[in-house]
Every structure is written in C-alpha cells, then in structure tokens.
Structure 1
C-alpha cells in the first residue's frame, strides 16, 4: 500500500480507502455481503486476484475480520468496530454523489444496476408468489458479461451470474445501459425507456407489465442510512 508520507489523519485514512476498489469492496461488506462471491457480484470488472489482495489489506488495517465458514469451505468477511464506523463515510459519499456526481455512460454497468435492484430496491410486496426466472441481456458488454438472471422465489429475489435452471418467462434486453440506470434511479419512466428503444422486453405480457412495478426507485426516496443499518446499529461476529 502506498503512503502519502503525511501524519494527517485524512491522508492516512486515504491510503487505505483511496486504493482502487477498496471503497467498493468495503461498501459491499457494510451492506451485508459476507462471502467472496457475494462481494464479487457487486464489483464486476474486479479480478478475483485483486479482490483477494484488497481483502487482505482491509484485514491488516483492522477494518474487516476474515473467518472460516462453519463447514470449512471458504471464508466469511465481516466489519470490525473500526470498519463499522466507516458506514458514516459511505453515507456521506452517497449523499454527496447523489447531489454532485454526474451519471455518465461509463458508470452504468447494467449488471450492477440489476444487483443493486435485487438487493436493495426491489418491492418484495409486489413480487409473484411463485417461482419466476427473468433473463437480462446486455448486447453492449463483452461476450462473457452479456447475461445475468433475476430469480424470484419464495417472495424474495436473487441476482444470478450463472443460469439457475428453469423456464425463462421474460427476456429483458438492455440496449442502453445508461437509460436502464436512469430508470432504476427514477429519472425516466419505463415507458419512456421502451419507446426510446433503450429496453426491449420479450415474454408474457402480464409479467412484462408487472416487472417495472417492482422497482421502488429508492435512490430518490430512501435515507442512505437504511442500507447501512445493520452495521450502524447491529452486533457482528467480528466483535465476539
């Protein structure tokens, strides 16, 4: 880890948080991602090797603890008390980013939009009570990243990078990732995105009409503290 050579607390904290991907990894852990794969799903483009290195750096810095899973396969990643205090930093960054950071095409990875939607902004009260599988396609992305799935089951949703099996009842083709992100954030309507050709939906009409109603548009309405509530108020195993 590089140093600024300054005793200033901001400089010293920036040595950790300023490393590429460190803030994103820490964000994912603070909102509840506990396994290596869960953390990686919220950081497309991050290699597994670099993720491993950054996790070790965060552990050495005392902001996360790494424990073996009870079954002995893999590890669990949790924030320490020092790491939990960084939730306030994340909240400040989100608040500032909403207000001042411009949303550009290079920011609008559609896989991230679907991951965030499934984990934080899905209106679970509106979900079908049966199993539903929806495939999302991203023609503008590299071949290896052009598909992901939203699996609805037992009143909850799962973001899948691999085909989970079963019948695909809808196919959503995202031709314009920026428009998809803007819809998710409540900046354009689903109908506007469809009319502009930014999004194309194939499949059962009833399900196609229901799909956009599952978006709570929480970026515009939620208090960002709600996403970090477990680490702001909860007791983690890292403190045991």
Structure 2
C-alpha cells in the first residue's frame, strides 16, 4: 500500500479507500457478499487477480477477515468492526454523487444493474411459483452489452449474458439509463411505459408484475 506520509486522518484513510476498486469491493462486502465469486460478480470489469490483491490488502489493514470456507473449497470474506464502521462513509459518498452527478450511459453497466436486481433488491416472495425468463434489450449500450437475460426463480435468480436457450416470457426494451433511474427510485415504471421509454412485450399479468419484483432505491449498502 502506498502512503502519503502525512499524519492527516484523511490522508491515512485515503491510503485504504482511494485505491481503485476498493470502495466497490467494500460496497459488495457490506451488502452481504461473502465468497470470492459473489464479490467478483458484483464488480464486473475487475480482474480476479486485482480482486484477490485488494482483499488481502484489506485483511492486512484489519478491515476484513479471510477464513476457510467451512463447507468446501474457497474462503469467506467478512468485514471486521473497522470494516462495518465504513458503511456510513460509503453511504455518504453515494449520497454526494446522487446530489451532484448526473447518471450517464457509461455509468449504467446493464450487467451490474441486473446483478444488483437479482441479489440486493429482488423481492423473491413476489415471484410467481414458476420460472420466468426476461430478455432485456438496452438501446443505449454497445452491441456486446445490448442483450441480456434474467431468469427469475424463487430458488435462485440469475443474469445470463448469452442466450440461455429457454423460452422467453417477457421482453423489455429500454435505455440502460432509464432502467437505472427506475432502479434508483427516480423514475416510475408506469410513467416510463406510457412515455415509451420502457417497452414490455408478453403476457399482461407478468408485465404488470415485473416491476414489483424490485425493492428499488437499493443503490449501495
């Protein structure tokens, strides 16, 4: 870890928090991710080598513990008291960004957005008893990130970056920025549908139920 060689508490905190990807890793840890795979899934674009390095650095400074997984291979990563005390810091960072920065297409990674829906904000108890496959087409994204699928299942919902080969129940076409605005609680689904910003095709009952499966407003921890 690089040091600023300054006694200032902001400088000392920055030695831990200002490393690239570290706040994202901490956000995922404080949101309940415990395994390496869960942490990696919550940080698309971060190499596994860098993730491993950041986790071991956080352990070294006493922010997390790393323990062998009691039920097999791998490890469990958990925040210490010092790590848990960072929650209001991250929330303050998010609140500051919400007030002062606009949401742009480059900030709206649809893979992360759908992963967040399936993990942190899914209202699983409202899902129908059968599996529902939803295809998303994001009109403001590059071709490689334009089409994704979510398999909503009470047992375990998941995001698919390639066609899972299952019959699609609903198709949603929209800009990723619009879905992100809705996910954050800034945009109402019905209003976006009426305006044509979000377009849904499929059975009416499922189309109406889909937005109720997201708790919304769960942006970080």
Range of TM-score over shorter length: 0.7 to 0.9
The aligned residue for residue 101 of structure 1 is 101
The aligned residue for residue 60 of structure 1 is 60
TM-score (norm 1): 0.78
The aligned residue for residue 88 of structure 2 is 88
Q: Which moved more, 1:55-64 or 1:124-133?
A: 124-133
Shift of 1:165: 6.6
Deviations 1:106-131 (A, max 9, x none): 21112222222233333444321322
The aligned residue for residue 178 of structure 2 is 179
The aligned residue for residue 189 of structure 1 is 188
Q: Would you say the 8 A contact 1:67–1:76 is kept in 2?
A: yes
Shift of 1:91: 2.4
The aligned residue for residue 118 of structure 1 is 118
Task: Note the residue ranges of structure 1 that are not aligned, 5 or more in a row.
Answer: 229-240
For the residue of structure 1 that corresponds to 2:157, the secondary structure is strand
Deviations 1:70-109 (A, max 9, x none): 2432221111122111112122223333333332222111
Q: Would you say the 8 A contact 2:66–2:77 is kept in 1?
A: yes
The aligned residue for residue 212 of structure 2 is 213
Q: Which moved more, 1:193-202 or 1:65-74?
A: 193-202
Matches of 2:78 and 2:143, distance apart in 1: 32
Task: Note the residue ranges of structure 2 that are not aligned, 5 or more in a row.
Answer: none
Change (3 A) 1:164 1:56: farther
Q: CA RMSD in A?
A: 2.6
Matches of 2:76 and 2:12, distance apart in 1: 27
TM-score (norm 2): 0.83
Q: Would you say the 8 A contact 1:150–1:157 is kept in 2?
A: no
The aligned residue for residue 159 of structure 2 is 160
Change (3 A) 1:114 1:23: same
Deviations 1:187-217 (A, max 9, x none): 2333443455543434333212221233333
The aligned residue for residue 74 of structure 1 is 74
Change (3 A) 1:47 1:146: farther
Q: Across the two proteins, how many residue pairs are aligned to each other?
A: 219
The aligned residue for residue 27 of structure 1 is 27
The aligned residue for residue 204 of structure 1 is 203
Matches of 1:59 and 1:199, distance apart in 2: 43
Q: Which moved more, 1:118-127 or 1:64-73?
A: 118-127
Deviations 1:39-90 (A, max 9, x none): 1222122122221221121111211112222243222111112211111212
Change (3 A) 1:121 1:2: same
Q: 1:141 aligned to 2:142?
A: yes
